[in-house]
Amino acid sequence: MDGLIFHNDRILPLEEAHLSPGQVGLLTGWGVFTTLRVYQGVPFALERHWTRLVRDSGHLAMNLDGYGLPGLRQAVVELVRANQRPEATARVSFIKNSGGLWAQAENRPPVDLLVFTRELTTWPAAHRLLLQPAGLFSGGEYAGTKVLSWVRNAATLAKVHSQGYDDALLVNEKGQLAECTSANVFLVRDGVVLTPTLDSGCLPGISREVLLEIAPATGIKIREQDLTVDDLSSAEEVFITSTTREVAAVGFIDPNWKYPTPGKVTSALARAFQAYVKAYLNKASA
């Protein structure tokens, strides 16, 4: 994490930021967050991230009326500049201050805004995944919501990292493929790209959303569909998407599946995604 952060309305050194020990969001994970990719000092697809933050905060009965997209954009851009990190990962969090039995956050706004930046993560050319049965519950009220209480995903990721894998492929309580701990998953079969529906409990990822929009223009068919573990056996390629990975090939899913990397369809969609990013940056700088 870089030495300067943005807290509510200003940039300050990390060690000078103070959160109330009775802040309900800190104690219970009551809040929302998103991870941004910054290219050339520009926060990519921030409009999409903001739409999801507002939607998810509504699910948690949080009010973000004190903030808005222009102000958030300015905060991220200024922090990126202050940390001299034009190519970066940025984390935006809105943390609820009041509510609950242990709340003690007087004289603070209803919600705290925190923005951090850090260097980019180096990802492998071919991801190795570990299948995780019962890794996600799709029937929960907050399924598909990116809440601060992310411990289940974080703990799962730490466990699979310790076993030599890059991520876990989560299977929901219905035996359906859902997502990875921090990425959406896609299978290629007969040249068609398939990805789990949102009913699987997966997060509506920003990169997933972009890919669903741009794939048809490449001539590649893409659709949302219920998928099971058995579908891994008939897949010709597998890839995952996330803000920091873009489109990333999967070479192995433990215990039984190996795939060619980089696959033809995966490579074509990776190029299409990069072209979309380039067009976005050109428009932002116009």
Mean pLDDT of 128-153: 94
| Closest C-alpha among 91, 162, 200 to residue 208 | 200
Q: Give me the mean pLDDT over the 121-133 stretch.
A: 96
CA separation for the pair 221, 213 (Å, rounded): 11
The answer to whether residue 184 scores a pLDDT higher than 80 is: yes
Q: What is the pTM of this model?
A: 0.95
Q: Residue 22's pLDDT is what?
A: 76
* pLDDT value at residue 66: 85
pLDDT band at 101 (very low <50, low <70, confident <90, very high): low
**Which pLDDT band holds residue 102 (cuts at 50, 70, 90)?**
low
Is the model more confident about 280 or about 17?
A: 280
Mean pLDDT of 40-60: 97
pLDDT class of 106 with cuts at 50, 70, 90: low
Give the pLDDT band of residue 100 (cuts 50, 70, 90): low
